[in-house]
Structure 1
């Protein structure tokens, strides 16, 4: 089409005629730029999809009042990006990067979402655009680039973790094709249970032993982590042994049956398995009998009360004692912090009372996380009767119910 004919059609009163010009690739750039401000949204949408539109027209379209125009522009630029030569990529940065920056901050979530999906795996996408999308408050915008974009550096991702990404953002980072030790440590230091679970399930995630130890410290209360932990590669004997203390039987079988564990690690696992099965005769130094010793021996009440009076009997100290298997200390801690008698505390554990244990922990001013652990490890409460779960921090009973439980055990006569 010659210039004059194209010019005449670009000014035609019929939007369909103008739209036919907007779709062409053989007209002068200035005519396409002219159509960028056409009164018909349909003409502008057609223009937005045209690969021959000059960059200045894209800038105009990026600020168009019509969402369909802006979305169409995103889709066009994304189609262009992966197939460009090195030289053309430079031209893209010069002519389209500013348009992408505008679109990355669009008020309509759908526009930003389409842009994120389009650029998530484009290696040469403008870094400022990817970073803007990664920091978006909407998960549908942020998560695609957080999980897949090769443009984001560890420094970028650590900064995003520190500032708090969109909901689901930590899980997206945890699922990246490569997760460094620093990123793993940053993710594991958060309270995002789902993200840590995804991190553990990612075979490409590099996790330092000390980071894994910290995760295992918290793992008994988070069943979601158990399966991926049981299948983590390169477990040390100490780590595998600690995991064997709280894994469900099916996962314990998987752990002890792994063929990639060395002899020392397998020995540590099997020792814990025997203890859990009650085969105490095969354990050295009567190790198996330690499980219920706290019900038979006198706990160090005076010493623990002294710690409590000086403010040193805090949640962390008691939690550490639980993980260490020092249940006698834990028993004394419950006595010191609740004011209940040794007889009453023992009654609760002897009765395998989930409600009683939860009520004692509440009375002691401790967490539901600890209440869950004590039900499982000291109370031997059957799994189907355990109160609470690893995703909730609130106590499952109200105050009246918990006070009643404590009064019941205080008045109960054997």
Structure 2
């Protein structure tokens, strides 16, 4: 043998007999040299797959010429780096496997992938997931295994990118109550469908809903957006993404203007892409919330007497309760008006409006709302002849009932209790039928 080291030997300069001799050499460096050559015969590579040196087996694992039978042995190798190298190699071969042909080679490749997808080492599964995450030809059963992995660094890339996962797959995963990070990964998928977006929103995960709102390619239905906006006052991380959603219905924009901070309110007002109807709705919401911003005082002209103090000139501001009574007397205290007041946090107006429409004394309304009973608040809204969707908003925003405890509409819009049940709830607070 030459005195030159194996690393100096030209790749094409080793014949079969020399390769066999090097494969059985006591020098691990020589065995490793043979193990890393693409020209080495399959039977020699198979022999070296059981080599006592992990360095040699790592070369075998990375060698694309290694026969699949040897790869199957290496999938159970005690060395984690051997298995990680094998995972990267096998996963990279997926795009080149013929879809129409499932022979022995393809079956063995699939078996290796399935074994690695169950590997106890997170590093091995992570390598597999990162390589397969955007492969349209990846084996479905392997992708399913990785998507349900409890380690977020494994499941996250697959949930976020894999084209193999169908809407039904994603809905099943959401129903299994996954980790918040996994929900976030689903919410960030490009072109997320309306059904999956709705399922993400219903988890009430703060991080996942924020990611959903920030995903401008996600298809968020108007009713889903309405539900998110109902709970948004409690979730500050949702406010920025809501303000920046590509399309906002006028009513949704006006409701958002009622609870976001002043900085985001200015962002909402300044959006040039909003249609005129939406901008008008936002301006009206701003006028109600911050009247000083919508009607700045004109400067005094030179040579004219000094303008009187603004506070002296301005008429006394109408109190919320008085405004509610005035509108009620005019027959204009409808659900839309009360809903707008609820969106802007006008608690006094809403309490008075509920009292007037339900014909219940204000102190009784205070007791019902303050008791934080979902059934009691729902019965109060029913008595006030308001819709069940609005009753849900009152539970969340006025009574501050946790989202997990609120009563929801039956069949989308109907009240979930019978008339007798609602009357009984009100009788508990001394309200006669």
Pairwise CA distance, 1:164: 2.4
The alpha-carbon deviation at position 173 of structure 1 amounts to 1.0
Aligned to 1:384: none
Matched residue, 2:268: 255
The reply to whether residue 73 of structure 1 matches residue 86 of structure 2 is yes
For 2:260 and 2:369, the matched residues in 1 are separated by 29
**Contact 1:136–1:166 (Cα < 8 Å) also in 2:** no
In the alignment, does 2:251 pair up with 1:238?
Answer: yes
* Correspondence 1:327 to 2:351: yes
Structure 2, unmatched stretches of 5+, are 1-13, 296-315, 326-338, 356-361, 372-394, 405-433
Which of 142, 147, 162 aligns to 2:175? It is: 162
**Pair 1:45-2:58 in alignment:** yes
Supply the distance in 2 between the matched residues of 1:291 and 1:8 (Cα, whole angstroms).
98
CA deviation profile, 1:363-383 (whole Å, cap 9, x unmatched): x9964789xxxxxxxxxxxxx
Q: Are 2:48 and 2:60, in contact at CA under 8 Å, matched by a contact in 1?
A: yes
Aligned to 1:292: 320
| Residue 227 of structure 2, aligned match among 214, 232, 236 | 214
Separation in 1, partners of 2:319, 2:138: 58
- Cα distance change on mapping 1:217 and 1:365 into 2, 3 Å: closer
Contact (CA 8 Å) 2:130, 2:158: kept in 1 or not? yes
Alignment correspondent of 2:215: 202
Query: For the residues of structure 1 that align with 2:293 and 2:126, how far apart are their CA atoms?
Result: 59
State how far apart, in whole Å, the 1-side matches of 2:23 and 2:195 are: 57
Superposition deviation, residue 44 in structure 1: 0.6
Shift of 1:7: 2.4
How many angstroms does 1:279 deviate by?
Answer: 6.2
31-40 or 288-297, larger mean C-alpha shift:
288-297
CA distance in 2, matches of 1:294, 1:40: 87
CA contact (8 A) 2:210 2:237 kept: yes
Q: Deviations over 1:231-264 (max 9, x none)?
A: 2122212111111111212222222222222222
Deviations along 1:108-127, one digit per CA (max 9) or x if unpaired, are 11111111112112221111
Q: Is 1:276–2:289 an aligned residue pair?
A: yes
Alpha-carbon shift at residue 323 of structure 1 (Å): 4.6
Alignment partner of 2:149 out of 121, 133, 136: 136
- The answer to whether the Cα contact below 8 Å between 1:10 and 1:17 also exists between their aligned partners in 2 is yes
Corresponding residue number in structure 1 for 2:133: 120
What SS does structure 2 have at the residue aligned with 1:253?
helix
Query: TM-score, normalized by length of structure 1?
Result: 0.69
User: Cα distance 1:127–1:294, how it changes in 2: closer, same or farther (>3 A)?
Assistant: farther
**Residues 166 and 336 (structure 1), Cα distance of their counterparts in 2 relative to 1, 3 Å cut:** closer
Task: Single out whichever of 2-11 and 119-128 deviates more from structure 2.
Answer: 2-11
Larger Rg: 2
Structure 2 vs 1, CA of residues 369 and 295 (structure 1 numbering), >3 Å: closer, same or farther?
farther
Following superposition, the deviation at residue 336 of structure 1 comes to 4.1
Unaligned residue ranges in structure 1 (runs of 5+): 283-287, 298-318, 340-360, 371-414
Deviations 1:200-236 (A, max 9, x none): 0111010000000000000111111111111212221
For 2:49, the equivalent position in structure 1 comes to 36
Change (3 A) 1:111 1:281: closer
Q: How far 1:93 sits from its partner (Å)? A: 3.7
TM-aligned CA distance change 1:253 to 1:143, over 3 Å? same
2:180/2:205 contact within 8 Å kept: no
Question: Does the C-alpha gap of structure 1 residues 85 and 73 become closer, same or farther in structure 2, counting only changes over 3 Å?
Answer: closer
Q: Is 1:183–2:196 an aligned residue pair?
A: yes
Q: Which segment is superposed worse, 218-227 or 321-330?
A: 321-330
- Report SS of the residue matched to 1:224: helix
Q: 1:337 and 1:264 mapped to 2: Cα distance?
A: 34
Q: Do the aligned partners of residues 64 and 294 (structure 1) sit closer, same or farther apart at CA in structure 2, a change above 3 Å counting?
A: farther
Q: 1:26 to 1:290 in 2, by over 3 A?
A: farther
- Aligned 8 A contact 1:74 1:103 in 2: yes
Report the CA distance between 1:95 and its aligned residue. Answer: 3.5
User: Which structure 2 residues correspond to residues 337-356 of structure 1 after superposition, within 5 A?
Assistant: none
Cα gap change, 1:93 to 1:160, in 2 (>3 Å):
farther
Indicate the structure with greater helix content. Answer: 1
TM-score calculated relative to the size of structure 2 = 0.66
**Cα–Cα, structure 1 residues 155 and 44, in superposed 2: closer, same or farther, change >3 Å?**
same
Give distance in 2, aligned partners of 1:86 and 1:280. Answer: 66
Residue aligned with 1:168, SS: helix
Q: Distance in 2 between matches of 1:294 and 1:129?
A: 65
